């Protein structure tokens, strides 16, 4: 267990540094670009990114997760996945190029055609990254992975900002994204070992795809519905509304993305190694989830409370309507992260078909809210439907994942709603104090110490977690 302890701690630290650095650099670049560009230009990018993100999910096909989970993965396995990813990426790239004109006509924006054609190159670059990243994660080499990603986004950000400054408009965002993918691919292929022999083994592909096909279809559904709001807003409301939603989503992804990127990969890779010890797995999983639920709850509270301040401070007054999107998305992400932790159970115990079945059911529910929002042409109905679906999805995922473990206890649900209650109460106190003292804009930052104190007291009073004792207990267990 000593090696696992070191892997978790080291991987977690470097994941935080790497993903934190990656997201912060990306955020700074995004802020500068938002100051130089308009919601319409970001709306254009938001629309085309739907197709690129969906294609990236299909390219990856869940096979990297299969490689990480397989303890005895061979070079032939990696080679098989690489060849498959490359072929799929080329096919999808050609399809996007072929339909780019139709998509541009649908949105009555001819420029979208050329943006789509250029952005499709990201798929090809991504195909050369997948197996390299999978090997780094499998070997828990998060330090090296983090260095590559930070360097890539840093160089690409400089390129994007320079282009925006010289008046290249939407192309500064597009070329920044292409540069990120290209530079990261070059770094991985220059500094990481190449596949010794390119071969495609049918048996290897079948065994890996059995794991990957379910996660792929589930991710496809999840990604499609997560990004479909960009298409709907652009088509039935205005492309500028897509830009506002896109920026709210970008901000929401910074704090949540750090936790998601750093935690899920490390936890999945590490817990896979103790999958045969049910008691140890259950203990570690519950302790980790409890700790991060509190962290996520605190982050969501402060982002929601200071949403207007964040938008005004970072983007300026022309982006003020993005506040609504940011608040809805950050609350939804609290339940979404719980759902992601539950998914680890499905992956570790090779029950990925459950992920697919649940996604189909949950997206059917979400479709109802989308249809109602479109019929009524009401953005609030559309977004509140998204929030309600996130809450329902958490309940469904929790119950089914616990059935797999053979132990349906409601402790995790109680924990989640305790943290939600603490966050709501803390936020309400903050709003009352804000109105009582008539604080304006950045004066509300004076309330931060008060909000932190109330939140911590709530955690202690409701006995959600004892940071010192629980973390110490977790480390002692790992040592054993």
Concatenating the DSSP letter of every residue in 54-75 gives HHHHHHHTTHHHHHHH-TT--H
Q: Are 455 and 422 in contact (CB under 8 A)?
A: yes
Q: Kindly indicate the confidence band of residue 308, based on its pLDDT and cuts at 50, 70 and 90.
A: very high
pLDDT of residue 471: 60
Chain mean position to CA 277: 29
Check pLDDT > 90 for residue 197.
no
d(CA 376, CA 430): 34
Domain boundaries, the chain: 2-479
CA quadruple 319, 321, 322, 323: dihedral positive or negative?
Answer: positive
Question: Does residue 23 have a pLDDT over 90?
Answer: no
Q: Using CA atoms in the order 242, 243, 248, 250, what is the torsion angle rounded to 10 degrees?
A: 110
Q: Is pLDDT larger for residue 350 or for residue 445?
A: 445
pLDDT digits (tens, 9 = 90+) for 75-99: 888 888 899 899 999 999 999 999 9
Query: Bigger pLDDT: 200 or 210?
Result: 200
- Residue 317 CB burial class (10 angstroms; 0-12, 13-18, ≥19): exposed
CA distance 433 to 439: 8
User: Residue 375: its pLDDT value, please?
Assistant: 92
Whole-number Å distance between alpha carbons of 15 and 296 = 17
User: Long-range CB contacts (< 8 A, 24+ apart) of 371-376?
Assistant: 373/232, 374/232, 374/236
Collapsing DSSP to helix, strand or coil, 36 comes out as helix
pTM given for the model: 0.80
pLDDT number for residue 408? 64
Report the alpha-carbon distance of residue 477 to residue 480 in Å, rounded: 5
Q: Residue 3 above 60 pLDDT?
A: no
pLDDT at 340: 83
Q: How far apart are CA 204 and CA 210, in angstroms?
A: 10
Chain segment 325-353, per-residue pLDDT in tens: 999 999 999 998 888 888 877 777 777 67
Contact, 338 vs 402, CB < 8 A? no
Task: Supply the pLDDT for residue 140.
Answer: 74
CB 464 within 8 A of CB 418: yes
Stretch 132-161: mean pLDDT: 88
Those residues with Cβ within 8 angstroms of residue 1's Cβ, 6 or more apart along the chain or in another chain: 477, 478, 479, 480
């Amino acid at each position: 267990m000593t090696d696992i302890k070191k892997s978790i701690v080291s991987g977690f630290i470097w994941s935080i540094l790497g993903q934190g650095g990656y997201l912060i650099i990306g955020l700074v670049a995004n802020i500068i670009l938002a100051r130089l560009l308009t919601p319409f230009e970001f709306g254009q990018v938001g629309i085309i990114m739907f197709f690129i993100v969906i294609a990236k999910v299909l390219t990856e096909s869940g096979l990297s997760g299969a490689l990480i989970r397989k303890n005895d993965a061979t070079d032939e396995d990696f080679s098989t996945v690489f060849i498959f990813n490359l072929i799929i990426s080329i096919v999808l790239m050609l399809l996007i190029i072929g339909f780019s004109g139709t998509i541009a006509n649908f949105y009555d924006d001819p420029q979208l055609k050329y943006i789509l054609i250029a952005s499709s190159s990201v798929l090809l670059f991504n195909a050369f990254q997948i197996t390299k990243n999978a090997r780094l994660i499998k070997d828990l080499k998060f330090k090296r992975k983090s260095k590559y990603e930070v360097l890539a986004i840093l160089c690409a950000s400089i390129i994007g900002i320079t282009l925006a400054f010289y008046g290249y408009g939407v192309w500064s965002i597009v070329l920044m994204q292409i540069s990120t993918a290209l530079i990261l691919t070059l770094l991985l292929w220059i500094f990481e070992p190449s596949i010794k022999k390119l071969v495609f083994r049918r048996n290897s592909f079948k065994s890996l795809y059995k794991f990957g096909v379910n996660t792929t279809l589930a991710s496809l559904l999840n990604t499609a519905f997560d990004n479909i709001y960009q298409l709907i807003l652009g088509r039935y409301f205005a492309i500028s509304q897509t830009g506002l939603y896109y920026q709210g989503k970008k901000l929401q992804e910074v704090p949540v993305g750090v936790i998601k990127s750093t935690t899920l990969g490390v936890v999945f890779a590490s817990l896979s190694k103790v999958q045969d010890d049910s008691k140890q797995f259950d203990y570690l999983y519950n302790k980790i989830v409890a700790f991060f639920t509190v962290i996520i709850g605190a982050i969501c509270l402060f982002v929601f409370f200071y949403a207007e301040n964040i938008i005004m401070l970072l983007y300026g007054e022309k982006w003020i309507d993005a506040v609504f999107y940011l608040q809805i998305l950050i609350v939804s992400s609290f339940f979404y992260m719980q759902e992601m932790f539950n998914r680890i159970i499905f992956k570790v115990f090779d029950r990925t078909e459950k992920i697919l079945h649940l996604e189909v059911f949950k997206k059917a529910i979400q479709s109802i809210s989308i249809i109602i929002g479109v019929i009524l042409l009401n953005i609030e109905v559309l977004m509140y439907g998204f929030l309600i679906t996130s809450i329902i999805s958490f309940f469904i995922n929790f119950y089914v994942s616990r059935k797999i473990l053979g132990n349906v206890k409601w402790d995790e649900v109680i924990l989640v709603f305790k943290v939600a209650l603490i966050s709501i109460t803390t936020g309400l106190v903050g709003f009352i104090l804000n109105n009582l003292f008539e604080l304006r804009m950045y004066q509300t930052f004076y309330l931060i110490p008060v909000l932190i104190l109330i939140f911590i007291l709530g955690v202690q009073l409701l006995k959600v977690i004892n940071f010192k004792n629980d973390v110490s207990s977790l480390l002692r267990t790992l040592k054993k």
